[in-house]
Structures are given as structure tokens and as C-alpha cells.
Chain A
Amino acid sequence: MRTQRLIRNTLSHALLAAIVLTGTDAFAAKISRLTPPSELFASANANGPVISRFLQGQRFDLQATVQPDVGQTIVGFYFSVDGRTTNPPNIDSNYKITYPLAGHLGRVDESASDASCIDTTSGKTTGKSGCKLTAGLPGNAVVVSQRAYAAYEPGVHVLKIVATQSNGSQVSAEGNFEIVAPASGQTKAKNIIVFLGDGMGATHRTAARIMAKGYAQGKAKAPLTMDTFPYTSMVMTSSLNSIVTDSAPGMQNYVTGNKAENNQEGVFPDDTLDPFDNPRVEYLSEYLHNLQGKSLGVVTTADVFDATPASMAIHTSARGNGTGIVDQFLDDRAQTGLTVLMGGGRKWFLPNPSNSVSPQPVNGSQRRNANDYVLSDDVVNGWGVARGKLDPERDLIADFQNAGFAYAPNNAGLSDAFKHGTPDKLLGLFAYSNMNVSYDKIAARRGDSTVVDAFGFPDQPLLEEMTDKALQVLSKNPNGFVAMIEGASIDKQAHLMDTDRWVLEVIEFDRAIAVAKAFAEKNPDTLIIVTADHECSGAAILGAATASAADLSAKPNAGTTVVGTYEAAKFPKYKIAADGFPQTTLIDNKMLIGYGANADRYETWLPNLFPTKDSQQPFPPTQSPSDPSSRNKDIGYFVSGQVPGDQAVHTATDIPLSAYGAGATQFHGVIDNTEVFFKLASAALAQ
């Protein structure tokens, strides 16, 4: 088999050479990608913005894609920064030369791949499954790396790659990056808490305030807790490859200080097919765990593999790699300090023993080889991380428990975990995939558990309860912690344009913020920021209904005829129950929301009794509508979409950030999302 492959490859390469010799195609040697990204490399503009910026000592990978001349191969390479090699030799007392960082170097090419990886006609890579490189590169292209580089001298530095071809000629290119010193004079923050309201724009915050607090004579009767934070920024949220980000770069940009492409977490883009070998950049959690011994807590109402929680600790270019993502959470806890992980997503933690005899357990495991990870030597050596393993049979809950994590499968279990004192580490998996939203969790606590029962998880905690427990565990570390607490379904329900559900999600989120604020009041060396990764749906508060609840219900296709704008909107008056949530969202003259980034939908202005379907749940309720374009069809008022698909989309609108506590004074003005990283680090590193 191996011989046949060698013959095929040889023939393939011979054919490639023949193509070139006849002059039908020609490649010129070049560097087609240099990482970290820079405008200097991309456009040769030395005066453009410096794209990649790192803290002193923050690790990141150097990488280049080299396209040699036809018939040539790359036989050597080196990177240099400001003219000095990044892989310096060591000369011992016997004048023996060694290269201590040799194990950090890696190269990926198709030289050992199946012949199908290079198209015999074009001579270019095919990008087929099982190959190494993406499609469209010359067949002799190579991706070369040096892992876990770090620099300490503040300022802009010139990065150069030099690759040597088999004929001895060289090809090179230059880019740049900046090393940033922490801002001086900051108040030191031992603990950092990032509240991430996924998709939460200014409208979402305002709507929650109107519903939860009420207005009178033009003034809010009370602020949301996040409104009480004294420092505010507006944040620009774009990703590396789009003005409109998704949640992966939307979060990771905050905690790496660098831009990622959409769908990518803790990495820069590359030209290889392996989603776990991309050039890495060190997370805030890793940086502060290694430097100061801080713990990491990740709390979400989504599946824990989702883009936002994963973008605190996981390095992958494909946010959907559930098995590898949850494995990395545990495997690399020595790098990140992971101490608390809570949310949904139990399906990724259940063993799927592919080689056991039938019948296997029918446990709903979604673990698969196809989305697991195994790292190359250079990544393992450079970063000191676990290699990983294709192991769908892994019982990850048991492995977490064996690593000292208390496991809570539901809210009662969460309380039980604290019966004999605060555990040292905590794992909470409260749903199969995403957790139910507060609209339905609160309904269950008030006696109607129809929806949560239908989902199969009748006893799920609220985010405020998860936050309280997380802070108890994390605050056991005298060195402090970094925590990310996410209100995930603000975004998910905004995508679905389910107004009543996302407004309650913001209220739930704000109640969790209140828990953290109380913690910060007792622990003043704590910095809290409340922000979002992006806005979702182009939500806008139109005004309020001019009709009663009964009239809205009787005429669900009333459409624009009941929309009260300007003074006709008056001040909607919701009654808040003792649990902190509105008694009902269907009141007379209720607040009305429109969407500027909407897909086709039918609007009734009424609450939807059942959440719109989530196909990742084990028991999608029979009554759930499949999507907004069919929800209330033939009953509601048709609103024509402005975007394709059947959901609203993220927008590029700036989002508000509020800050409280130690180091909060840094947050003002209009800032890029990557700038948040340096402000958080400056607070943590202050003397």
C-alpha cells in the first residue's frame, strides 16, 4: 500500500514537473501568508495599522506559507525579528551548537500524502479529506511554523521569514507586530469578571430596563445593575475577516488582544486543513495563570462547547469541533487554570464506545473522532499542552471528577455540591445542549414546567445561581481568578426574533451581574466589565402597543395598526414578581420591538407559548415552531426579511461596555474590542 502510494506520488510530481517544463503553468516562489497578520505584509503599507499586538511575554506562533519555485522544495527556514533569529543557537563549553527551540519548529506539506492531494492537471492542492493543505496551493507548498514565540521589548517589530529552496535560492517576506507594555498607574485587580451578553446591543439593555424597572415622566424608575457601573465605552466588534463578527472572534478578541477570523478561537488563520494546528495566540487566562496562578471560570447558559465559552481557553479554527473543544477544556487545565465550567452540553461528555459489542449504551453521546483533536509535536513541545487523542469512548464527566471536579447535573445537584463546603473545582452540565431560557425556566418555577419537561431537564439553575456558586469556588484561590459569565440566549433568541424571550434573558443576565457586583463590593480588588461580542438582529424599540393585551390576542395580525410611536407609546408598565421577572410580558400597551436585520417572519406582538425549535435538543417539543418564517404563519402580520435564511443576523453596530471596580477607569471612549484585553491585563498586572 505504502509502495503504491509512493509510486502514485512520484508519478504525480513527475507529471507536475512535466506540466511546468512545457510552460503550461508556472509558479513564482513567494510567501503567500505570514502570521501574525499585518498590513505591512498584506499591502506593503508600512504606515497602516498594526494588526497584531501582544503583551510583553504573551506567547504566539510564527507561521508562513511558502510557495517554492516549480520543481523546488523547501529545505530550510528561519524567522527573525528585527534582524535577530527567533531560534537562537546555544553553544556549550565544548563549542557544541544546539538549538533548544528546535522542537518548536514544524512544517506541513503534501510530500507524504496520497496522490489525490495534488491535482494532476493543475498541479495544485485539492484540499480533499485526509490531505494536509487547503485547496489551490502549488503542490510543493509548505506551511512552516515556530510555536510559542514571545517578545518583551515594547514597540513595533519587523518579522521576517526566510525559506531556502532545494536549489539554494531563498524566498522571504516581512511583516510586523507590536509588543505592548501594560498601562501604568492602574488600580490592581486580583479578580477579573467578564460578563458577556451574547448579542446584547444598546436596544437589548434598554428593553430590559423598560420591562424590569419601568419609566415614569421620562425617567427610569431604577437602573439595571449594569447601568450603575460608572465607566462606559463603545466597542467596535469587527473580526479579522469581516465587519460583522460571529461569537468566536467576538469573544476571543477580548481575551487575546488580537483579531481572529469568524469561526476561529484562540488562533490565527492558516492554510492547513487540521482545525487544531492553527497558529495560536495565548489567552488572558493562560497568560495570567502562568504568570500569577489565577484560576479560570467559564459559565454560560449555552452548550459549553459554544463559541463564547470556548473562546476563553480553546484553540481551534472550527468552532463546531465539540469533542475536541470539551476535551481541551480538561486536558489543558494546567495551562488555563480551569476551575469552574458550567452550562449545557452534556452530550459531548458522554462516552461513545465505538468498539464495544452491540448493544452499546444509547446515551445520546455526540462524541466523534471527526471533531476531536490530536496535536502535532511542534504544538505540544512549544506550548507544553496535552497532545490529545481521538477518543469518542472517553467518559469525560468521570475524567473531570477524577481531576477533582464536583459534578452537578441539575440545580439540586449544584446545591448538593456545596453541602459539605465549597468544592475546589466545579463542573455543571445542566442540559443536553443549550440550556432552556429564563422565560421557560421561570415558568417552571411558577408551576408550569411544560417546556423544561419537554426538553428533558426540569431542574435547571438560573444564571444568577450559577454565578453565585462559581464565585464561591473561584474566590478560594488567593491568587485571584478570571471568569467569563455569559448570557448566551440573548443572542439565540434575538436570532429567532422571539422578543419576550430575549428580554427576559437580559433580565436574567442583569440579575447575575448584581450577584457579581455584590461580590466586588466585598472584594474591591475585583474588576467587572459587562459587554457583548456583537449586536444581534438590529433590534429596535419601536414604541408600545396602543391596544390592550386582550385586543392584541384577538387580532394577532394587527401589524402596524397597533404600533404606538412617539408620545403614543407612553410608558409600558410591567409588574415584577417576587422572583424578579415580570408577572407576564403580555400587558396592555406592551413594549414593541422591531428588527432591522431580520429574515422573513410573522409578527403577532404576542409571546410565543413555546420556544422556536432547537434541533440539538433530544426532545424538541411538538408545539415548537420550526423557525420564525413559519412561526405564526397565516395568523401574524408578515414582515418581509432583509437577510437570507430564516433567522435574524448579527450586525456590525458598536456595542456598549460598562465597567466597575479596580481598573475600571480605563474604559472610556470608542475602542476596538482587542483593546479590552490590554486594559484587563493592565489591571491584573498593576503593582
Chain B
Amino acid sequence: MNGVSGSIAAAIALAVVFFTSAPVHAAPDAAAAAPRTPKLLAVRKDLGSPPAGVTDLKFRDIFKTPVGDKGLEPSATLLALDGKRVRMIGYMVRQPSASKGAFLLSPLPVEISDEDEPLADDLPPSVVAVEVGGAANKPIPLLPGLIQITGVLHVGAKTDAASSRVSSVQIALDAHLGKALLGGAAPTRPASRTVHVDVH
């Protein structure tokens, strides 16, 4: 039995609120201004099974654990899904200005600070770049709360020419989701704060 945390685990079990009910991080003003999440990308209580031919990928399954002496290494799960369609649940990373052509999907609500202080990168390395086909010059709306996406997975570092940001994993968003994201589908309300979804 662990003395510090293990011995208290039972005692405080009732007090623990698991993060799976994570709140939306975006500031109230930003949330108010944010568009409603298109129905196809919204996360509701029951996600159900992924569509046929699609495999769920969790953020925690992207890298091997423990971390290697020379850095992170892609997991066997990730490599096995390279080139295949996957579904992921996560948060759109808030950026100082609307991104074009792609957005970042994160396991926790984070934002990239403005140009003056972009240097200490607060993004987890498991962040996935989601490429939106046909959106090269269209600003992608920031969706608050959890979203779900499906698309084709690509494993391997890739540098975004505009931001010089390097992503380890990319997903080419399914075309119908891209269309919905850019304004072609009926919206729904942002995800409830009480939604329980294992994003990791």
C-alpha cells in the first residue's frame, strides 16, 4: 500500500472528480463568440461504435510507455493504423488567429499563445494535426469543447509551412466532415460539460 497517495485513495474516492468531465477551456467571451459545433463533429453522451472501416485511436496509444532514453517512440498501435481511417476525440487547439487548411486536435483544452510568446510550447506532443481538404484559404472556425473526427491517419513528422510547427501524426479529415466544419452542415449545441468521454 502506498503511504502517501495509496492510503488516501479509498478515503477520498468520493471526492475525486475525474477529468473525463473536462470543462471547456475557452474563455467565456471566446466561447460565446464560437460557432456551434456541427452535428457530425459533436460529442454526445453515447458515441457508439465507429463507422465501418474506422478504428478508434486514443491519444494515450500514440506513443510507447515508458518514454525511451532518446525520446518518444510511436506505439505499435499507431504504426498499425498508419494509412487507415481512424476516429479520435479531442479538443481543437485555440490559436491566436483562425488557422487555415488544418487545425490541431489535443487531448486537453489548450491554446497557443500569441506571436510574442509562442516559444515555450504548451502543446502535448500527442497533438494531432487535422488536415481539412479544400480549406487552404478558408479560416477554420474554433469549435468549443470535445469534438470527434474521422479521417485517414498518417504517421511521420511533418512541418506546417505557415507556422513551422511540426506534427508527428496527421489525420486527413473525411471530406464530409470538412464540409460540415466549414459551414456546410447543420450545427448542434456545444458539448455538455457533463459529457463523459475517454479522450485519452
Q: Which residues in A have some Cβ–Cβ distance to B below 8 Å? A: 129, 305, 318-322, 346-347, 350, 352, 354, 358-366, 368-371, 392, 397, 407, 409-410, 413, 432, 439-440, 442-443, 446-448, 450-451, 453, 456-459, 504, 549-550, 553-554, 556, 577, 581-586, 604, 606-607, 609-610, 613, 615-626, 630-636
Q: If the complex has contacts A360-B156, A618-B63, A623-B19, are A609 and B8 also in contact, measured as CB distance less than 8 A? A: yes
28 contacts between A and B (CB under 8 A): A320-B117, A352-B166, A358-B158, A360-B157, A361-B157, A364-B67, A364-B72, A368-B164, A370-B118, A397-B70, A432-B67, A443-B6, A446-B1, A446-B2, A448-B5, A577-B3, A583-B7, A586-B7, A609-B9, A615-B110, A615-B122, A616-B121, A618-B124, A622-B18, A622-B198, A630-B22, A633-B23, A635-B17
Q: Does B168 contact A (CB under 8 A)?
A: yes
A625 touches B166 (CB 8 A): no
Q: If the complex has contacts A453-B65, A553-B11, A618-B125, are A443 and B4 also in contact, measured as CB distance less than 8 A? A: yes
Q: If the complex has contacts A359-B156, A619-B63, A626-B25, are A549 and B72 also in contact, measured as CB distance less than 8 A? A: no
Residues of chain B within 8 A (CB-CB) of A609 are 5, 8-9, 12, 16
Residues of chain B within 8 A (CB-CB) of A346 are 67, 71
Q: Does B130 contact A (CB under 8 A)?
A: no
B2 touches A347 (CB 8 A): no
B3 touches A446 (CB 8 A): yes
- Contact pick for A619, options B3, B11, B126, B164, CB 8 Å: B126
Distance of A610 Cα from B19 Cα, bound (Å): 10
With CB as the reference atom, state the residue of chain B lying closest to A352. Answer: B166
Distance of A625 Cα from B119 Cα, bound (Å): 25
A446 touches B123 (CB 8 A): no
- Contact pick for A618, options B15, B126, B157, B169, CB 8 Å: B126
Residues of chain B within 8 A (CB-CB) of A636 are 15
Q: Does B56 contact A (CB under 8 A)?
A: no
Given A368-B166, A456-B65, A586-B8, 4 new contacts (CB under 8 A): A362-B156, A459-B66, A550-B11, A620-B107
Distance of A287 Cα from B105 Cα, bound (Å): 47
Shortest beta-carbon distance, B138 to chain A, in Å? 23
Residues of chain A within 8 A (CB-CB) of B15 are 553, 556, 604, 606, 632, 635-636
- Contact pick for A409, options B17, B69, B159, CB 8 Å: B69
B72 touches A586 (CB 8 A): no
What secondary structure prevails in chain B residues at the interface with A? loop
Distance of A85 Cα from B140 Cα, bound (Å): 58
B17 touches A622 (CB 8 A): no
Q: If the complex has contacts A352-B157, A458-B66, A623-B16, are A365 and B71 also in contact, measured as CB distance less than 8 A? A: yes
Q: Does B109 contact A (CB under 8 A)?
A: yes
A583 touches B4 (CB 8 A): yes
A626 touches B124 (CB 8 A): no
Residues of chain B within 8 A (CB-CB) of A620 are 107-108, 124, 200
Q: Does B74 contact A (CB under 8 A)?
A: yes
Distance of A360 Cα from B121 Cα, bound (Å): 20
Q: Does B52 contact A (CB under 8 A)?
A: no
With CB as the reference atom, state the residue of chain A lying closest to B15. Answer: A556
Give B149-170 as 1s and 0s: 1 = Cβ < 8 Å from A's Cβ atoms: 0000001111100001110110
Shortest beta-carbon distance, B113 to chain A, in Å? 9
Closest 6 CB pairs of A and B: A359-B156, A448-B2, A320-B119, A363-B71, A320-B120, A364-B72
Distance of A463 Cα from B10 Cα, bound (Å): 29
Distance of A504 Cα from B14 Cα, bound (Å): 24
Q: Does B20 contact A (CB under 8 A)?
A: yes
Distance of A582 Cα from B5 Cα, bound (Å): 11
With CB as the reference atom, state the residue of chain A lying closest to B199. Answer: A622
Residues of chain A within 8 A (CB-CB) of B121 are 322, 366, 368, 616
A362 touches B72 (CB 8 A): yes
Q: Does B29 contact A (CB under 8 A)?
A: no
Give B14-47 as 1s and 0s: 1 = Cβ < 8 Å from A's Cβ atoms: 1111111011010000000000000000000000
B19 touches A625 (CB 8 A): yes
Residues of chain B within 8 A (CB-CB) of A632 are 15, 17
B66 touches A453 (CB 8 A): yes
- Contact pick for B120, options A322, A447, A457, A577, CB 8 Å: A322
- Contact pick for A626, options B22, B63, B166, CB 8 Å: B22
Shortest beta-carbon distance, B26 to chain A, in Å? 12
Q: Does B60 contact A (CB under 8 A)?
A: yes
Residues of chain A within 8 A (CB-CB) of B20 are 622
Q: If the complex has contacts A321-B119, A626-B25, are A439 and B166 also in contact, measured as CB distance less than 8 A? A: no
Residues of chain A within 8 A (CB-CB) of B12 are 553, 556, 586, 604, 606-607, 609
Residues of chain B within 8 A (CB-CB) of A347 are 71, 125
Interface residues of B in 85-124 (CB under 8 A from A): 107-110, 115, 117-124
Residues of chain A within 8 A (CB-CB) of B2 are 443, 446-448
With CB as the reference atom, state the residue of chain B lying closest to A450. Answer: B5
Distance of A459 Cα from B67 Cα, bound (Å): 11
B118 touches A363 (CB 8 A): no
Most B CB contacts (10 A, CB to CB) among A439, A448, A610 go to A448
Shortest beta-carbon distance, B156 to chain A, in Å? 3
Give B41-85 as 1s and 0s: 1 = Cβ < 8 Å from A's Cβ atoms: 000000000000000000110010111011111100000000000
With CB as the reference atom, state the residue of chain A lying closest to B6. Answer: A448
A624 touches B124 (CB 8 A): no
Distance of A287 Cα from B189 Cα, bound (Å): 61
Shortest beta-carbon distance, B149 to chain A, in Å? 19
With CB as the reference atom, state the residue of chain B lying closest to A576. Answer: B3
- Contact pick for B63, options A305, A364, A615, A622, CB 8 Å: A364
Residues of chain A within 8 A (CB-CB) of B63 are 362, 364, 456, 618-619
A626 touches B9 (CB 8 A): no
Q: If the complex has contacts A368-B166, A550-B11, A620-B107, are A633 and B4 also in contact, measured as CB distance less than 8 A? A: no
- Contact pick for A350, options B8, B11, B19, B70, CB 8 Å: B70
Distance of A654 Cα from B5 Cα, bound (Å): 33
Q: If the complex has contacts A446-B2, A553-B12, are A363 and B72 also in contact, measured as CB distance less than 8 A? A: yes
Most B CB contacts (10 A, CB to CB) among A305, A347, A362 go to A362
B67 touches A371 (CB 8 A): no
Residues of chain B within 8 A (CB-CB) of A616 are 121-122, 124
Residues of chain B within 8 A (CB-CB) of A450 are 5
- Contact pick for B66, options A369, A442, A456, A630, CB 8 Å: A456
A439 touches B5 (CB 8 A): yes
Distance of A626 Cα from B45 Cα, bound (Å): 20
Distance of A577 Cα from B6 Cα, bound (Å): 14
Distance of A409 Cα from B70 Cα, bound (Å): 8
Distance of A549 Cα from B120 Cα, bound (Å): 40
With CB as the reference atom, state the residue of chain A lying closest to B63. Answer: A618
Q: If the complex has contacts A456-B66, A620-B124, A626-B25, are A363 and B5 also in contact, measured as CB distance less than 8 A? A: no
Distance of A28 Cα from B51 Cα, bound (Å): 70
A359 touches B120 (CB 8 A): no
Distance of A631 Cα from B119 Cα, bound (Å): 27
Distance of A459 Cα from B118 Cα, bound (Å): 31
A359 touches B155 (CB 8 A): yes
B66 touches A584 (CB 8 A): no
With CB as the reference atom, state the residue of chain B lying closest to A359. Answer: B156
A586 touches B14 (CB 8 A): no
Distance of A233 Cα from B163 Cα, bound (Å): 48
Distance of A457 Cα from B166 Cα, bound (Å): 23
A607 touches B166 (CB 8 A): no
Residues of chain A within 8 A (CB-CB) of B17 are 625, 631-635
Shortest beta-carbon distance, A456 to chain B, in Å? 4
Q: If the complex has contacts A443-B5, A584-B3, are A556 and B22 also in contact, measured as CB distance less than 8 A? A: no
Most A CB contacts (10 A, CB to CB) among B71, B110, B164 go to B71
